[in-house]
Amino acid sequence: MGKNVLITGATSGIGLACARKFAENGDKLILTGRNEHRLAEIRNELTEKGTEVLTLAFDVRDREKAKKYISELPAEWHKIDVLVNNAGLALGLEPEYEGNLDDWETMVDTNIKGLLTMIRLIVPGMVERNSGHIINVGSVAGDAAYAGGNVYCATKAAVKALTDGLRIDVADTAIRVTNLKPGLVETNFSNIRFKGDRERAAKLYTGIKPLTGDDIADVAVYAANAPAHVQIAEVLILATHQASGSVIVRK
């Protein structure tokens, strides 16, 4: 029997790839994102293939709206088996002393506080049922800073610490906690980072075959379907010619 899987930031990139892969796995999906129209398109795509899908249009930065939507879930969706905390973004690549304060606030509110909001709303039910799985999408950027990454790297370092802390907090339960740490993934991520400058975004992938959202989604589905006694705690996923957040060989 399939699981109930809630995925944040499901309208593009890794989140959308996870939605499609978990659907192929026979799971039921709760998909969240800011773009209601895009969520409806994805719901139609997946329901046509036989997947049950519930969409919730909200920004994870909006704590009250997130609380309202989760508290009002229909009875058949109350039991969330897998939470994929995917919503996140990077903005800018300036030196820290020249950074945009509004961009910093957006990254912190989304990547850290939004993730915490979803954990606080969903995990108590998992603890009560003594079952569940939290998959946080971190980044290689959380392992070490790279030039211009400063605040984004800090938010992903926080995701690692929060994931490790949660794993410790639920170690006396059957709940599993996973941190996925992608490297260079070709999605809309860089276009958002550079605020629509597609040419600048495309240069990041020049001379290397980057990962795709599907590559990350494959690992998420694998982790969620490992035997109950197996906890995939952390996975670093890099393109073949990427050695770390700052070492990329382009050919």
Q: Which residues are catalytic?
A: 152
Q: Which two tokens stand for residue 174?
A: 């059957």
Where helices occur in the chain by DSSP H, the ranges are 13-24, 36-47, 63-71, 101-107, 115-129, 150-169, 189-193, 198-203, 213-224
Residue in 222, 183, 178 with CA at minimum distance from that of residue 22: 222
210-239: burial string, b at 16+ Cβ within 10 Å, e else? bbbbebbbebbbebbeeeeeebbebbebbb
The position carrying tokens 């709206």 is: 65
Q: Which residues of 22-35 are buried (b: 16+ CB within 10 A; e: fewer)?
A: bbebebbbbbbbee
Q: Helix, strand, coil: what percent of the chain each, to 5?
A: 45, 15, 40
Amino acid at residue number 75: A
